Amino acid sequence: MKFYLKQHKSRYFGLLLIFAFLLGIVGLAGGVSWSLLIYLFFVGAFLLGGGMLFAYTRQRRLYAFLSDQTKRILPGDQDHLSQAISYKVNQLLQEQENQLTKESREKEQQVTFINLWVHQMKTPIAVLEMMAQENQLDAVEILKETQRLKSGLNLVMNEARLLGGLGGDFVLKQVHLAKLVNQRVTEQKNFFIQHQVYPQVAIASDLHLITDEKWLGFVIEQLLVNSIKYTAPGGKVKLSASMEQETLYLVIEDEGVGIPPGDLPRIKQAFFTGENGRRFGEATGMGLYLVDQVTQELGIEMNVASQVGKGTKITLTFPDPKEYRE
């Protein structure tokens, strides 16, 4: 209302002055009592005010929209309406520009990831093709290469889903944590065998949480794959969960090569492979980035601690602790 009055007060008082001037001329001409003229003036002022109030009610939403924030940055401006419109238009243009920049960056990121992924998928395909040509079909090697293809396909599909936004893909329900973890460990059984790494699961059967089972499973799978990949033969990957002070923790700890201190702050960045990625190869630098994106969407806090030569410990801290136990 203040915004509207500020915009129209000069017009209102101007019309009142003109009306008073005309009534004054009539009064000076004689024939009409001044009391009647004063009465007509107040009636006219009342009708003019009523007309302005009616006009305001019809445009109330527009003025409420325009007055937001503008009243704080443009105090006392004589052309308040035009300045407000200009501010809002610039604000909308800036929002659109930011959105276009974000979409362009995401598209560029997706193209880069696809190029890296295609390059990495050439290796298992070439190995399988060579084995077929030389008629040296080794079941273990075939299983190893198909596992690499499967992992790569899962990663690129989930990356596409993440870029599309997870809002419509969430299904929150009660999840049995031990069951979900054991399922993901079983799915990686061949990967464990190939690398001669041994899983150890220590999770109480009464731990439950409200989350999206598929996406939490994706997080656990990616962390398992990384732990197995960077653990030497004979090493272990330990998965444990605990409830401490009404907070649920899931810990995935390996006995791998560890992450160099200089790489640790950047492991969640897209396409960052680090020293281990260059040393061992087969890294897109997207695994932990996608995990970080998913955990943020799920409200899970992920902390990574690592020592070179000793291993890496990843702790997932879950929200809504009251939902964890039946």
Task: Indicate the pLDDT class of residue 201, thresholds 50, 70 and 90.
Answer: very high
The percent of residues in the chain predicted with pLDDT above 70, rounded, is: 73
Please name the residue that has the structure tokens 């305001």: 56
CATH ID of 171-326, from 3.30.1300.10, 3.50.50.60, 3.40.50.2000, 3.30.565.10:
3.30.565.10
Q: How far apart are CA 228 and CA 191, in angstroms?
A: 7
pLDDT band per the 50, 70, 90 thresholds, residue 171:
confident
Residues 6+ apart with CB under 8 A from 7: 63, 80, 81
- Whole-prediction pTM: 0.62
For residue 215, CA distances in Å to 47, 159, 167, 315 come to 64, 12, 12, 17
| Rounded distance between C-alpha atoms, residue 66 and residue 263, angstroms | 48
Q: What are the tens digits of pLDDT across the range 143-164?
A: 777 777 777 777 777 776 776 6
- Average pLDDT of every residue of the chain: 78
Query: pLDDT grade, residue 326 (50/70/90)?
Result: very low
Count Cβ neighbours within 10 Å for each residue of 151-165 and write b for 16 or more, e otherwise: bbeebbebbebbbee
**pLDDT for 310:** 93
What confidence category does residue 324 fall into, taking pLDDT thresholds of 50, 70 and 90? very low
pLDDT at 97: 83
pLDDT in tens, 208-267: 999 999 999 999 999 999 999 899 999 999 999 998 888 899 999 999 999 999 999 998
pLDDT (0 to 100) of residue 323: 47
User: What pLDDT does residue 322 have?
Assistant: 55
Give domain limits for the chain.
2-67, 171-326
Contact 218/170 with Cβ under 8 angstroms? Answer: no
